[in-house]
Amino acid sequence: MRISEILKHKNRTLSFEFFPPKKIENEKTLFDTIEILKQYNPDFVSITYGAGGSTKEKTIDWTLKIKKDYNLNVMMHLTCISSTKESIDNIIETLNKNNIDNILALRGDLPNDNNINSMEFKYAYELVEYLKGKGDFSIGVAGYPEGHPESPSLEKDIEYLKMKIDAGGEFIITQLFFDNRYFFDFVERVEKSGIKAPIVAGIMPILNLSQIERFVDMCGSTIPESLTKKLENKSKEDMYKIGIEYATKQCIELIENNVKGLHFYTLNKHNATHDILKNLP
């Protein structure tokens, strides 16, 4: 089912993001996670695409498997940097053949060595444009409450986001953030720019400070100093408790402010998402 339609008719959506496990032994964890989180009746689940298409086959396999075996509404992430139109065409054909309605159209991160094989797509808006001409997909795009790390300014970031929406993007899923003020400010700037697409908030609880610090460094998000202080030198168990409490409060405040959707970056584990969701209205 098209996510854009669901967003039109529901007050608030719930969704979960998974990544295709690299090792066979980790597949069971993902199966278990899906089985447990399925009880929350997600409006959709999404499957990430490895940098530069490195897990391309696995992403497609998991997208089809989750749709078929779990009867869940699926969105496949698709990145375009370094991809040829021919390789995108092959993927589109598979998605069309298997009635996959939803795609999150992304550029992908630039490779560390800047070794780009193809320049047929430079930015995500070009992929959105291309997909629109190739099938009746409901297309989502990425948004950055704190700005994309390569972006020259927050204003430019919104300008480029608008290009993705004008090209055919129908909804926005945000990068993770830990301070709701960034999200509320982002929503305001998006609306001021004339973008009408609904914005779904990306949520990731902090369960391991050093792991998240590495992660936020790459994606341009920040952790409030007060939260870092609370988490420092804590045992694994205490860190988990603080992380869940914080993310729960974050979600409650977003809900009170009429967020259009909550998208959980699950990292293929069910515990944290489950512990947050059981406390939400």
Ligand X SMILES: Cc1cc2nc3c(=O)[nH]c(=O)nc-3n(C[C@H](O)[C@H](O)[C@H](O)COP(=O)(O)OP(=O)(O)OC[C@H]3O[C@@H](n4cnc5c(N)ncnc54)[C@H](O)[C@@H]3O)c2cc1C
* Cβ–Cβ < 8 Å for 33, 266: yes
Binding region for ligand X (CB under 6 A) out of 8-16, 146-154, 205-213, 226-234: 146-154
| C-alpha closest to that of 193 among 250, 152, 143 | 143
**Nearer Cβ to ligand X (72/165):** 165
Tell whether residue 169 is a contact of ligand X (CB under 6 A).
no
**Site for ligand X contains 148 (CB under 6 A):** yes
Active site (annotated) includes residue 17:
yes
Nearer to ligand X, 186 or 240 (CB): 186
Rounded to a whole number of angstroms, the minimum distance from the CB of residue 91 to ligand X is 13
Residue 82 DSSP SS3: coil
Task: Tell me the closest approach of the beta carbon of residue 19 to ligand X, in angstroms.
Answer: 8
What is the token pair recorded at 119? Answer: 């320049």
Q: Please report which residue ranges of the chain form alpha helices under DSSP H.
A: 3-9, 27-37, 56-70, 85-97, 124-132, 154-166, 180-192, 209-219, 225-231, 236-256, 271-277
Q: Which stretch binds ligand X (CB under 6 A): 36-44, 145-153, 184-192, 203-211?
A: 145-153
What's the token pair of residue 129?
């444009």
- Angle (CA) 5 155 162, round 5°: 30
Angle at 57 (CA atoms; ends 52, 60), nearest 5 degrees: 105
49 contacts ligand X (rule: CB under 6 A): yes
Q: Taking contact as CB under 6 A, which single stretch among the options 131-139, 143-151, 178-186, 242-250 is the one that binds ligand X?
A: 143-151
- Provide the minimum distance between the beta carbon of 233 and ligand X in the complex, in angstroms, as a whole number: 31
Give whichever of 73 and 231 is closer to ligand X, judged by the CB atom. 73
Contacts with 34 (C-beta within 8 Å, 6 or more apart), sequence order: 18, 45, 66, 70, 72
Does position 70 interact with ligand X (CB under 6 A)? The reply is no
Among 154, 163, 223, 280, interactor with ligand X by CB under 6 A = 163
Examine residue 124 and tell whether it contacts ligand X (CB under 6 A).
Answer: yes
Between 129 and 157, CB nearer to ligand X:
157
Query: Catalytic residue among 17, 129, 146, 170, which?
Result: 17
Q: Contact with ligand X (CB under 6 A): which of 2, 58, 67, 77?
A: 77
- Rounded Cα–Cα distance for residues 266 and 32 (Å): 12
Q: What torsion do the CA atoms of 80, 86, 90, 96 make, to the nearest 10 degrees? A: 80
Dist. CA 178–CA 80, nearest whole Å: 28
SS3 state of residue 248: helix
Among 31, 40, 70, 160, binds ligand X (CB under 6 A): 160
- Tell whether residue 7 is a contact of ligand X (CB under 6 A): no
Enter the DSSP assignment of 70.
H
Q: Which residues bind ligand X (CB under 6 A)?
A: 48-49, 51, 77, 79, 104, 106-109, 123-125, 142, 148, 150-151, 156-157, 160, 163-164, 173, 175, 202
Q: Which residues are catalytic?
A: 17
